[in-house]
Structure 1
Amino acid sequence: MASETQNSPFIKSLTSSDKEIRDQALDSLRTYLSSRTEISELDLMKLWKGLFYCLWMQDKPVHQQRLSKDLASLVPTLQPAITIPFLAAFWKTMAREWGQIEALRMDKYLFLIRQYVNASFKFLAQNDWADKARIESYMAVLEETPLSPNDVKIPNGMRYHALDIYVDELEKVGGGDWEKKKETLEILLGPIKKLQKEGRDKTVRKAAQETLDDERLPIWRGEKVQDTEMEEGEGGTDDEWGGIED
Structure 2
Amino acid sequence: MATEAQNSPFIKNLASSDKRTRDQALNSLRAYLSAQTQISELDLLKLWKGLFYCLWMQDKPHLQNRLSTDLASLPSTLRPTVVLPFLRAFYITIAREWVNIEALRMDKYLFLIRQYVNASFKWLASTKWDQDLVRQWNHMVEETPLHPKDMKVPNGLRYHVLDVLLDELEKVEDTWDDKREVLGLIMEPVERLAKEGILKPVRLAAKECLADDRLKVWRGEEANKDDEMGEDEEEEWGGIED
Shift of 1:66: 0.4
8 A contact 1:179–1:220 mirrored in 2: no
What RMSD in Å do the two structures reach over aligned CA positions?
Answer: 1.9
> 1:230 matched to which residue of 2?
none
Structure 2 counterpart of 1:122: 122
- Helix, strand or coil for the counterpart of 1:46? helix
Matches within 5 A, 1:19-98: 19-20=17-18, 21-98=21-98
In structure 1, give the amino acid aligned to 2:96: R
Detail structure 1 runs of 4+ shifted over 6 Å in the superposition: none
User: Could you tell me how far 1:14 is from its partner in structure 2?
Assistant: 1.8
The counterpart of 2:187, out of the listed 178, 186, 189, is 189
Aligned length: 222
Per-residue deviation, residues 141-195 of structure 1 (Å, max 9, x unmatched): 00000000011000000000000010110001124x7683312211100000000
Which structure 2 residues correspond to residues 97-246 of structure 1 after superposition, within 5 A?
97-129=97-129, 131-175=130-174, 180-225=178-223
Counterpart code for 2:2 = T
Letter of the aligned partner of 1:18 in structure 2?
A: S
Look up the equivalent residue of 1:66 and give its one-letter code: R
Q: Report if the CA contact (8 A) 1:10-1:26 is conserved.
A: no
Letter in 2 for 1:14: I
Give secondary structure in 1 for the equivalent of 2:128. helix
Counterparts in 2 of 1:209 and 1:36: CA distance versus 1, 3 Å: same
Does the CA contact (< 8 Å) of 2:10 and 2:29 recur in 1?
no
Distance between the aligned counterparts of 1:87 and 1:173, measured in 2?
Answer: 18
Q: Does the 8 A contact of 2:72 with 2:119 survive in 1?
A: yes
Contact 2:44 2:86 in 1 (8 A): yes
Letter in 1 for 2:203: R
Moved more, 99-108 or 11-20: 11-20
Task: Give the SS at the match of 1:39.
Answer: coil
1:6 and 2:9 matched: no
Is residue 179–residue 218 contact of structure 2 (8 Å, CA) maintained in 1?
Answer: no
Give the TM-score normalised by the residue count of structure 1. 0.85
Q: Is the 8 A contact 2:114 2:164 kept in 1?
A: yes
Q: Secondary structure at the match of 1:151?
A: coil
| Conserved 8 A contact 1:5-1:11 | no
Take 1:39 and 1:57, find their aligned partners in 2: how far apart are those partners?
26
- Give yes or no for contact 2:5–2:47 (8 Å, CA) kept in 1: no
Gaps of 5+ in 2: 226-242
